Structure 1
Amino acid sequence: MKSKYAALAGVILSAVLGGCGGDGEQTEMVSPSASTMAATTPKYAVTATTTSATTRWAPAITDTWQIQLTGRLNTSYAVVAYDIDLFDTPTATIATLKAQGRRVICYFSAGSAEDWRPDYSQFTAADMGAPLSGWAGERWLDTRSANVRQIMQARMDLAVSKGCDAVDPDNVDAYTNSPGLPLTAETQLDYNRFLATEAHARGLAVGLKNDVGQVPVLAAEFDFAINESCHQYQECDTYSAFTGQGKAVFNIEYRSKYKTVAQRNALCTGAKAANLRTLVMPAYLDGSYRYACD
């Protein structure tokens, strides 16, 4: 997982946790305020090359989930949706999950170039900005670039071909970081709307990943949200923009303090009250442990 919050989490938690919806399954695994953001007409739109008449899936506010982005995938959790890596997960594994009645959300980084991905060579030097702090081999992308957008369209086409029900585009808040590019709140809104439009054109649901400052503006255009560490940063209230529309908010928390039963119970009480589907997981999302508030 390449995200600012996962990077802040530091090392992977290694202890087995207990209490508050603890899941005993263990695996061997590998801002500007929203009020200042006016809706804008996309300046750098790329026309969708694929359309779909299929009615897309939309997660319900009560849907349970699992996310695992590295390691050997554990497919045994009885949840509604799995969030897995688009490139690394074989099509056969996605088919297996769907045969089990699961929905599949496919993760890819929409805002950074990762030098281990098979389409990395398609990015030009002009497309790339500064390195992501703490993530070797990864650089911010110029999300205004038509070439970048065409690569993301191809990634969504891949998601369709592999049978994904939805996509989880990560790193869509470059303007709040130091991307080494002239990216702003306005360019981020334009890009995130582009991603939503392209996903919907392909019959895919799409989640808004983090980008907390723009949640109130973008909630109407995304089907669900995925958040990292909103409890830690006291940002969960913002997600009423999604839950108020009956849209799912999938939340991950990484802090070591949730090892303790009292802290975890407090976390889960707050998560349930806010209608958030909260998991406590290791920072690198390798499946080594999982504790669910549901």
Structure 2
Amino acid sequence: MKARSIYAVAALTIALITPLPASSPAGSRPAAVSLPPAHAGFDYQIGGAYPPPAGVRVVGRDREDSPAPGLYNICYVNAFQVQPDELDAWEPDLLLRDDNGDVIIDEEWDEAILDVGTAGKRERIAARVNGWIDGCADNGFQAVEPDNYDSYERSRGRFGSSAAMAFITLLSAHAHEKGLAIGQKNTADLAGFRDRTGLDFAVVEECGEYGECDSFTEYFDDRVIVVEYTSKGLATACAGWRDRLSIVRRDLDVLPDGSDGHLRQTC
């Protein structure tokens, strides 16, 4: 199990007792929304698009890339954090800050965390992210994958999981309005709230590595896409779930095919 900070534990406790707003569109997925096929060949291409290998039916790609023709395409958006080269595009007060006024950074990826701690800021951040979701829909994607749902674990207690759920609920409602399914990215602790947040499926990194796959299948059934980054994680995921889930191993930087360091393996 991945280690959790004292802030994350406290935030989850608050989420368990804090209702989402009454306007939450939980369970509002329209019939027009198409879910990714279960137990289908999958390739994770968020580091750069390339022709999908034979047998692949579902592809995850960055919002700036085009969908793969004839396949089910999931559009990746960095919804809770900011890519280093996009920092200046955000209003300064929407970046999460510490007591000294310094921007709080997810140091593993060098990404600033967005401040979803208040309803007003959530609405303003969602306005930009929903614009990206519009682009995903216009480009022909069938689903969207908002990343860093678990950013509350790195917020140093500035906001908790209830704020993260309130924000993802805004994105879910908009994605459904645009005819897109929406996936939960990681965050096993919040999988049980999927009906409240309107999430349709899950994209899970290293659930084999950390023994968390059943934490997602309990709530998403077979609509779970597994991405592993180690041989051990792939072996564990395949041993337990090869007949039910979409499973792939990628290199940590998800490099395009033909790049030095590119790796893709399946069960």
Q: Please state how far the C-alpha of 1:251 moved relative to its aligned partner.
A: 0.7
Corresponding residue of 2:82: 113
Corresponding residue of 1:11: none
Q: Deviations over 1:247-283 (max 9, x none)?
A: 510011112546xxxxx5454121226x232211111
- Contact map agreement 1:174 1:183 (CA 8 A) in 2: no
Q: What TM-score, normalized to structure 2?
A: 0.79
Corresponding residue of 1:252: 227
Corresponding residue of 2:92: 125
Match of 1:78 among 55, 74, 79: 55
Q: 1:53 to 1:280 in 2, by over 3 A?
A: closer
Corresponding residue of 2:150: 173
Q: What TM-score, normalized to structure 1?
A: 0.72
Equivalent residues in 2 for 1:174-189, closer than 5 Å: 174-175=151-152, 177-180=153-156, 182-189=158-165
Q: Please state how far the C-alpha of 1:196 moved relative to its aligned partner.
A: 1.2
Q: Please state how far the C-alpha of 1:154 moved relative to its aligned partner.
A: 0.7
Structure 1 residue 271 and structure 2 residue 248: aligned?
A: no
Q: 1:278 to 1:121 in 2, by over 3 A?
A: same
CA distance in 2, matches of 1:164, 1:269: 31
Amino acid at match of 2:80: G
Q: 1:234 to 1:196 in 2, by over 3 A?
A: same
Corresponding residue of 2:115: 142
From the two aligned structures, give the one with the greater helix fraction: 2
CA distance in 2, matches of 1:232, 1:79: 23
Structure 1 residue 202 and structure 2 residue 178: aligned?
A: yes
Amino acid at match of 1:60: P
Structure 1 residue 235 and structure 2 residue 212: aligned?
A: yes
Corresponding residue of 2:41: 64
- Contact map agreement 2:194 2:219 (CA 8 A) in 1: no
- Contact map agreement 2:15 2:162 (CA 8 A) in 1: no
CA distance in 2, matches of 1:104, 1:271: 22
Corresponding residue of 1:22: none
- Contact map agreement 1:105 1:167 (CA 8 A) in 2: yes
Q: 1:215 to 1:54 in 2, by over 3 A?
A: closer
- Contact map agreement 2:146 2:184 (CA 8 A) in 1: yes
**Secondary structure of the residue that 1:280 maps to in structure 2?**
strand
**Secondary structure of the residue that 1:37 maps to in structure 2?**
helix
Greater relative contact order (Cα < 8 A, sep 6+):
1
**Secondary structure of the residue that 1:173 maps to in structure 2?**
helix
- Contact map agreement 1:61 1:243 (CA 8 A) in 2: no
Q: 1:199 to 1:115 in 2, by over 3 A?
A: same
Gap regions ≥5 residues in structure 2: 4-8, 97-103, 257-261
